[in-house]
Amino acid sequence: MTSMTTDIKPVAIGDVQVGAGQQVYVIGEIGINHNGDIEIAKQLIDISAEAGANAVKFQKRTPDISTPMDMRDKIRSTPWGDMTYLDYRYRVEFDQAQYKELISYAASKGLHAFASPWDVPSVEFMEEQGAVTHKVASASVTDIELLKALAETGKPIILSTGMSTIEQIDKAVETLGTSKLVMMHATSTYPLPAEEANLRMIETLRDRYQVPVGYSGHERGLQISLAAVALGAVTVERHITLDRTMWGSDQASSLEPKGFESLIRDIRILEQAMGDGVKKVFPGELAPLSRLRRVDA
């Protein structure tokens, strides 16, 4: 258990409380690293369950709406041949039946499964799936129409804050409300260089909005995510992949199975190690005390 105690109340995500004093809610971000292949998605769910994660996450798009106009006709080389960016976006989407299968597969492994919907129909899509929560991707912070649709679901919302100004975040929080909000500090550089991590934002966001704050990381390695936990991050999300050399834009800045497992192992150790900040003499110190201390006071 983490020990950072504040007055900020935890937020219930399904059957799990997310907040200070609770287990860190670790999310394996599958995103689009499945490359449209349901078997890869299932393997990434298996990996998350074996690593001890709490949830897996997908990205859900209606490509006709969520793909920026100037990107649509650009030609992209893909494992399925050259195609427009818009066609590629369709190629990596799952349909309702596939999501149903993935969400129940995740549930059978004890994991929540949800998505960041990138447009209003995708909110409806994930609502039909009965998702326990929805995430706002950093790219969507300024999409007020989307945020309103998310607020209307009444579900807890996880708001990421990369590529955004504090004024844009203020407006997003105003639209979403704070009663069921978990925020995530993020910097959307892929991969994230340490000097852009700005982890002290975790405290800034917590103080400013008085909601639980986590961390969505895009760095290589584990140190920055672990430091985020030491600074009180209540949730950690990392992209995961079967193999960093696989085709796809997020694969290189993702964690492979062993890395994700090490990350969660170390997060669970940190939860215990942070303590409560109240000075005490621990039982393990008594023998060294009697052996080493010369003057008793």
Among 138, 187, 235, 241, binds ligand PEP (CB under 6 A): 138
Query: C-beta of 96: minimal distance to ligand PEP in Å?
Result: 19
What is the residue whose two structure tokens read 């995530």?
A: 184
Choose the binding region for ligand PEP from 73-81, 95-103, 135-143, 280-288 (rule: CB under 6 A).
135-143
Nearer to ligand PEP, 162 or 259 (CB): 162
- In DSSP terms, which residues pair with 116 in a beta bridge? 59
Region class of 75: left (phi > 0), else alpha (psi between -120 and 50), else beta:
beta
By rule CB under 6 A, what string of x and - marks binding of each residue 101-130 to ligand PEP? ---------------x--------------
Size of the site for ligand PEP (CB under 6 A): 11
Among 11, 18, 26, 137, binds ligand PEP (CB under 6 A): 137
Closest by Cα among 35, 87, 27, 26 to 251: 35
274/81 Cα distance (integer angstroms): 50
What is the residue whose two structure tokens read 């129940």?
A: 104
3-state helix, strand, coil in the chain (%, to 5): 40, 20, 40
Nearer to ligand PEP, 116 or 225 (CB): 116
b/e burial code for range 51-66 (CB count within 10 A of at least 16 → b): bbbbbbbbbbbbbeeb
Query: C-beta of 7: minimal distance to ligand PEP in Å?
Result: 26
Among 34, 89, 135, 206, binds ligand PEP (CB under 6 A): 135
**C-beta of residue 37 within 8 angstroms of C-beta of residue 30:** no
Query: How far, in Å, are 46, 102, 114, 248, 296 from residue 107 at the CA level?
Result: 11, 9, 11, 26, 57
Choose the binding region for ligand PEP from 10-18, 66-74, 184-192, 228-236 (rule: CB under 6 A).
184-192
Site for ligand PEP in 185-224 (CB under 6 A): 186, 188, 216
Query: C-beta of 109: minimal distance to ligand PEP in Å?
Result: 21
161/139 Cα distance (integer angstroms): 8
Nearer to ligand PEP, 3 or 124 (CB): 124
**C-beta of residue 173 within 8 angstroms of C-beta of residue 158:** no
Query: C-beta of 118: minimal distance to ligand PEP in Å?
Result: 7
Closest by Cα among 188, 245, 194, 191 to 223: 194
Site for ligand PEP in 27-66 (CB under 6 A): 59
Query: C-beta of 135: minimal distance to ligand PEP in Å?
Result: 5
Nearer to ligand PEP, 3 or 35 (CB): 35
162 counts as binding ligand PEP under rule CB under 6 A = yes
Query: C-beta of 19: minimal distance to ligand PEP in Å?
Result: 19
Nearer to ligand PEP, 175 or 216 (CB): 216
259/224 Cα distance (integer angstroms): 13
Closest by Cα among 19, 242, 235 to 135: 235
The amino acid at 101: E
Choose the binding region for ligand PEP from 39-47, 142-150, 182-190, 259-267 (rule: CB under 6 A).
182-190
Binding site for ligand PEP (CB under 6 A): 59, 116, 135, 137-138, 160, 162, 184, 186, 188, 216
